[in-house]
Structure formats: structure tokens, C-alpha cells
Chain A
């Protein structure tokens, strides 16, 4: 605000800052976002190195980005807006929100406050700050785009054959952010306050078009405030695979395609599923009270479990619906 007041005072003296205010209404937002958005480089996708964007959320190097292939690397390269390069490691993941937290060893960094997005109304200005197509290199600032907040919606979306895991409300915008490298970047309001994190590029299944959206800042706060303490959602950088996830000891038919009912293909001998009486050919209907209609929903439901938890798995076998009590096996 002090900047605006300054501009007002100067406006009465000289005309130069006045025309700047009409010409560049997004200056405050850009000044705020520039040092708080980072460029990420990680594991390769095919021949090309994976890349993306992230936001700083603490002065000591906590960074939030979206889940993506680039994180499947022992070391993620983090490039700050001043060109400094850091080795980052993944310290927490959240499969439902499709978020991850990265740490770098640094201090005295500028960072975004995790406030709220409830003040946004359709038509309000939104500014995106991210590195689409990795156009920005080295110390170059990320790319900024301006548009409006379009509204809130729960996305029905998919990425390739997989359904989009996050079912909560997202922030929609008319800025084109469904581009490679944009995910994990910031959406800020006209004052430069963080309102959302650009989501991974997904196709809206209602319109079959790319969805331009952000995850509300409230979800980022919820993730970082207990994501790091919750072993279900945490994976150490040394074991980034699904090995640490809770399991039942069964494998589903994974035939691909748009709809993949959760049919059991194989039950491991000696596993919790075997002891409970689950057989190959069973169709899983629910896990621990969560309805399951597809392989993805089964995976999602499994992520909400923890080892030694007592649950019921409901299956359809022939024309019967059977409830199977069992105890979840630990991952590690």
C-alpha cells in the first residue's frame, strides 16, 4: 500500500508515474511474485528433462509444487529468480491434492504468505507467474500473464487415461496455464497475494478441453501444515516410489481405457487380502467405507489408509456383495 501512496504523491509532482499506473496495473503483483516463484528441473520424460515451477512458502527453503514425473529424481534442481541454483529434495507428497513439498538448504528467502482466496469474485484480475515451455533460463524471471478469475468449480478431469484425483473446488481462470512447465507456478491477485497454485495440465472431461485452473491457497496451507507430519502422505526422497504405501496384497486388472473397474486379478499368498478371503475375479466396491468405482479410486482410497488399520473391503462376487474385514499391511 505504501507503494500506491507514493505513486499518488508523485503523481501530483510529475506525470511519469501517473501514466505508469494506467499502463502497468499489474506492477505490484509482478514485483511480489518475481522472487517467490522458482524454476524446477528434474527427472527426464523421454529424451527431454522434466521441468516445472514452484513457489517459496518459507524463508528457509520450503517449496510447494504439483506432483509430476520431474520429482522422480534423487535430486531436483531449483533455480531462484536471482539465478542461484540449489539441489532440492522431496519431503512430502499429497496424492489427493496432487501436491509435493521440496526443501532446499537456504535462508532469508522471500516467500508467499498462505492466506486465503475467498475474496476473489469472478471478473477480478489474476496474474500467473510460472515458467511455461521453460522459456525463462538461468537468472531470467519467470513469465507473467494477466487475465481474470472465472469462477470456482469441482473439476471432472483426466490426465491421459487417469482421472484427476482432486475433487474439491478449484479456481478457474482465462489465463492459458495448461501448458508444459506452468504447473506449480503462482496465481496472485492484483496486490500480489497468493490465491492459488497452478495445477497440472488436465483435460476437462465435460468439454474435452484443457482446463486452466489453480488449486486454492487454502489447500496448499492444509497440505503444508500437516502434510509433513502425516506418514501416510510423506515419502522420503530416497524412496520416492509407491513402496511406502499401505497395501492389501492384491493386484487389479489394469486393462487401460477410460473406465477401469477394480477387478481383482491376483491375490498374493499369505497376504491380508488372502486371509480375508478375497479372490481373483472379485470386483471391489468399497475400501474402508470409501466407494470405489475404478482402479484409480481404489489407489486413491488405499492412500488414505495406514498400516495395521482394521477396515472392511466390500466386493461383488457373482450376484453377491460380500464384506471382508481385514488388517492393512504396512508398506515398509
Chain B
């Protein structure tokens, strides 16, 4: 669609509203508007399609099963088979990087192929995975690929139309789902939330606007830490896509083969956010920060943080609430060094801490327990 034609559609819709009428009051003007909206959806899909790839996998670890005895094995949740069918990816760079969801690669497939919209098919390498944002980066040996236009998080508005497209249903062209942006900055500001149906049918595929600009890559997200958390919400109107801003930060780290994991300080914290009309008996002085309640063996303990310290900012971002604390950490990954500002006995301190992965912290706790004397 050419820009002038898009403009005329827009003016029709504005004219209907400008007469003091909503679409439903305007009667006769509604049908044309909705017909035109349909053509906008079609155009958006056409525009993004050259940048959407189909990914097929061959072999790999079997699906998750539990051996009950020699004859019986019991399937462990989820009950559907993972990463068996075709999945979806988005061209990240003209020189062959493809971004998709790590959900599609849980079983470490032996062979991965990528089929472009023009039908060319390539063997792909799995470059790196991001277990926090559920992303995976693939590389094919190709040049001059058609990367999509990207749209930054700051340009997005709640309630705007967004679309997804994916190959998970086995189609040869990507299958479409539409919806609106339900919320921005979800999941510690890593993801955009949409009511378009996000499921294994389009994990790894693009979330894009009505002009075909990609606003995120669809991933499963939800409560919990395990590799399939969030899948249980699929097709429920609660879907997530990693924003383009986060893609840039994360994929640039992954391009040299580094796997990304959620980074943690290794502390347990408490918040003292006030409840209006409900005085907190033991609050003491209100503090704009999160209070450390435990420091198990790990990076924070090595750096000298103590129980009772109040973290007031991370990397210069104030952390008055737990949600701010989580967002500041979610912006970084394990291995990154963060600057933690804290208060101890009202005295400000500043500490540089290298974030660990959850597995690292668990391992540290286990080795501590193993080496501890039997009696405390």
C-alpha cells in the first residue's frame, strides 16, 4: 500500500469520528472502515513476510519422559511434543542472523534448516540461547537477506493493533493472528503483552504493527523459572513478545556465541512500601529501597553486602520498589557487572557486583552446605 492510500483510509476514519460519532453511531460508515482495516492487516502481513522464515528441525533429544519401569514410561508435562513441527523465526541481519524463541530448541535438534520466503533453504547453526528472555539466535550462510523494519518500544502505544505470524500450524505461508497491545513493559520491562493469540504456532515469529514493522519476537513467558514456563498461558489472550530494544541489547551479546541467563545478586529482599491507612507497626523510618533479608553464599556476599542493607539503586536506576529492583536486574544478564548503591546505618555505599546465574548461586549454596562442619 502506498502512503497516500493509507492516508486516505485514515482520513475516512477521522471524518467519521470528527462528526461527534463513534464508529458504532456512525452506522453506514462502519462497514467501509472495517473493510479498509482488513486490507491494512493484509498489507501488514505482506510487508513483513519476506523477513519471516520457517525453521525445521531434525533429530535431537527425545521429548521429556520419565521412566517408570522397563515397559512403561510416563510423559512429563507439558503433554504436547516440543519442537517437532516447523517453527518460526525473524531475519535479524542481512548477513544471516535469525532470531527465534528458545522454546523451539529445548531438545537440542541435530539439524536445523531455515527456509526463506523466496523458497531458498539453508542449514543453520544454533549460535546462542537466552534462557531469561526465551530467545535463540541462529546463523545461516547467506548475504543480502531481507531484514524487517523495526519499531522501538518508545513509539508503541497501548491498544494499538499488532499482528503475529507463524508456521507452527504447518502452513507454507505464515498464519496470522491479530490483537492489540495489552500492556508495555511487562515481565520486568523485557516484553510487550498482547491479546493476539501467542502459542507454539508463532513462538519465535514477529509481533508487528499495521505497517509491517516488527515490534517484538513472540516468546512464552510466565511465572516460574523452568524452560517451558509461560507455555501454559498460550492462546489465552495473554501473550508476550520481547521488545526490539531488548532484542538489540541481548542479541548483540549472543552474536559471539554467549548464552544468556538471568543475572542475580544472590540476596533475598523485602520491601517496605507503605499501605495508605494501614500503618506499618515495625516500619521504622521509611526508606526508598529494598531491604536485604538474607545474603547466602554468592556474588553479593563476596562483594560485602549484609543483611539489613537497603538497596537504593542499581546502575543508577532508583529501586524504591521490588518491581524497580527486578527491572534493573532484568536489563542485565549473568556475567554483567552492576553498580549497586545501598544504605547501611543510613550511610550510602556503592558496590560493583558481577551478576551470577541462578544455577551458580545454587551451586555455591550446595558446596557451602557440603563443606560446612556437621555441628554449627
Show the binding face of A for B, using Cβ within 8 Å. Answer: 1, 4-5, 7-8, 11, 15, 18-27, 29-30, 75, 77, 83-87, 104-106, 119, 121, 124-125, 127, 132-133, 135-147, 175-177, 179, 189-191
The answer to whether B277 touches A133, judged by C-beta atoms less than 8 angstroms apart, is no
Task: Chain B residues near A137: list those with CB within 8 A.
Answer: 322-323
Q: Which of A21, A124, A190 contacts B13 (CB 8 A)?
A: A21
Show the binding face of B for A, using Cβ within 8 Å. Answer: 6-7, 9-11, 13-15, 17-18, 20, 22-24, 37, 40, 157-161, 179-183, 185-187, 193, 195, 209-210, 222-223, 233, 236-238, 273-278, 321-323
CB distance from B324 to the nearest CB of A (A): 8
The answer to whether B7 touches A125, judged by C-beta atoms less than 8 angstroms apart, is no
B159, B183, B195, B209 pick with most chain A CB within 10 angstroms: B159
B11, B37, B187, B222 pick with most chain A CB within 10 angstroms: B11
The answer to whether A85 touches B274, judged by C-beta atoms less than 8 angstroms apart, is yes
Report Cα–Cα, A166/B153, bound state, in Å: 43
The answer to whether B238 touches A132, judged by C-beta atoms less than 8 angstroms apart, is yes
CB distance from B104 to the nearest CB of A (A): 23
The answer to whether B159 touches A26, judged by C-beta atoms less than 8 angstroms apart, is yes
Report Cα–Cα, A104/B276, bound state, in Å: 9
Q: Which of B7, B278, B322 contacts A86 (CB 8 A)?
A: B278
Q: Of all chain B residues, which has the CB nearest A121?
A: B24
Task: Chain A residues near B23: list those with CB within 8 A.
Answer: 25, 125, 190
A22, A75, A140, A141 pick with most chain B CB within 10 angstroms: A22
Task: Chain A residues near B276: list those with CB within 8 A.
Answer: 84-87, 104-106
Report Cα–Cα, A4/B223, bound state, in Å: 39
Sampled A-B contacts (21; CB under 8 Å):
A4-B20, A7-B14, A8-B14, A18-B10, A18-B11, A18-B14, A22-B9, A23-B210, A26-B159, A85-B273, A106-B277, A133-B223, A136-B186, A137-B323, A138-B273, A138-B323, A143-B183, A146-B180, A147-B195, A179-B236, A190-B23
CB distance from B93 to the nearest CB of A (A): 27
Q: Which of B11, B159, B187 contacts A27 (CB 8 A)?
A: B159
Q: Which of A87, A127, A139 contacts B275 (CB 8 A)?
A: A87
The answer to whether A4 touches B17, judged by C-beta atoms less than 8 angstroms apart, is yes
The answer to whether B158 touches A141, judged by C-beta atoms less than 8 angstroms apart, is yes
The answer to whether A1 touches B20, judged by C-beta atoms less than 8 angstroms apart, is yes
Task: Chain A residues near B15: list those with CB within 8 A.
Answer: 8
Report Cα–Cα, A23/B215, bound state, in Å: 14
Q: Which of A1, A20, A86, A145 contacts B182 (CB 8 A)?
A: A145
The answer to whether A132 touches B323, judged by C-beta atoms less than 8 angstroms apart, is no
CB distance from A226 to the nearest CB of B (A): 27
- The 4 tightest CB contacts between A and B, nearest first, are A26-B159, A87-B278, A176-B237, A8-B18
CB distance from B328 to the nearest CB of A (A): 14
The answer to whether B238 touches A135, judged by C-beta atoms less than 8 angstroms apart, is yes
The answer to whether B275 touches A144, judged by C-beta atoms less than 8 angstroms apart, is no
Task: Chain B residues near A179: list those with CB within 8 A.
Answer: 236-238
Report Cα–Cα, A137/B233, bound state, in Å: 17
Q: Of all chain A residues, which has the CB nearest B3?
A: A15
CB distance from A27 to the nearest CB of B (A): 5
Q: Which of B10, B182, B236 contacts A144 (CB 8 A)?
A: B182
CB distance from A186 to the nearest CB of B (A): 14
Task: Chain B residues near A18: list those with CB within 8 A.
Answer: 7, 10-11, 14
The answer to whether B159 touches A21, judged by C-beta atoms less than 8 angstroms apart, is no
Given A135-B193, A143-B193, A175 contacting B322 (CB threshold 8 A):
no
Report Cα–Cα, A174/B209, bound state, in Å: 22
Report Cα–Cα, A106/B278, bound state, in Å: 12
Given A4-B17, A18-B10, A133-B222, A77 contacting B275 (CB threshold 8 A):
yes
Task: Chain A residues near B161: list those with CB within 8 A.
Answer: 23-24
The answer to whether A21 touches B14, judged by C-beta atoms less than 8 angstroms apart, is yes
Task: Chain B residues near A5: list those with CB within 8 A.
Answer: 18, 20
Q: Of all chain A residues, which has the CB nearest B277?
A: A105
Given A175-B195, A179-B236, A190-B24, A86 contacting B159 (CB threshold 8 A):
no
The answer to whether A133 touches B159, judged by C-beta atoms less than 8 angstroms apart, is no
Task: Chain B residues near A189: list those with CB within 8 A.
Answer: 22, 24
The answer to whether B14 touches A136, judged by C-beta atoms less than 8 angstroms apart, is no
Report Cα–Cα, A137/B157, bound state, in Å: 19
CB distance from B184 to the nearest CB of A (A): 9
Report Cα–Cα, A86/B275, bound state, in Å: 5
Task: Chain B residues near A7: list those with CB within 8 A.
Answer: 14, 17-18
Q: Of all chain B residues, which has the CB nearest A174?
A: B237
Task: Chain A residues near B233: list those with CB within 8 A.
Answer: 133
Given A125-B23, A133-B233, A24 contacting B159 (CB threshold 8 A):
yes
CB distance from A273 to the nearest CB of B (A): 43
Given A11-B14, A135-B186, A146 contacting B238 (CB threshold 8 A):
no
Contacts beyond the supplied A87-B275, A136-B183: 5 A-B pairs with Cβ under 8 Å: A24-B160, A121-B24, A125-B23, A144-B159, A190-B22
The answer to whether A30 touches B10, judged by C-beta atoms less than 8 angstroms apart, is no
A21, A135, A189 pick with most chain B CB within 10 angstroms: A135
Report Cα–Cα, A119/B323, bound state, in Å: 40
Q: Of all chain A residues, which has the CB nearest B221?
A: A135
Given A1-B20, A132-B237, A143 contacting B182 (CB threshold 8 A):
yes
Q: Of all chain B residues, which has the CB nearest A181?
A: B238
Q: Which of B9, B22, B193, B195 contacts A191 (CB 8 A)?
A: B22
Report Cα–Cα, A27/B17, bound state, in Å: 13
The answer to whether A125 touches B157, judged by C-beta atoms less than 8 angstroms apart, is no
The answer to whether A144 touches B24, judged by C-beta atoms less than 8 angstroms apart, is no
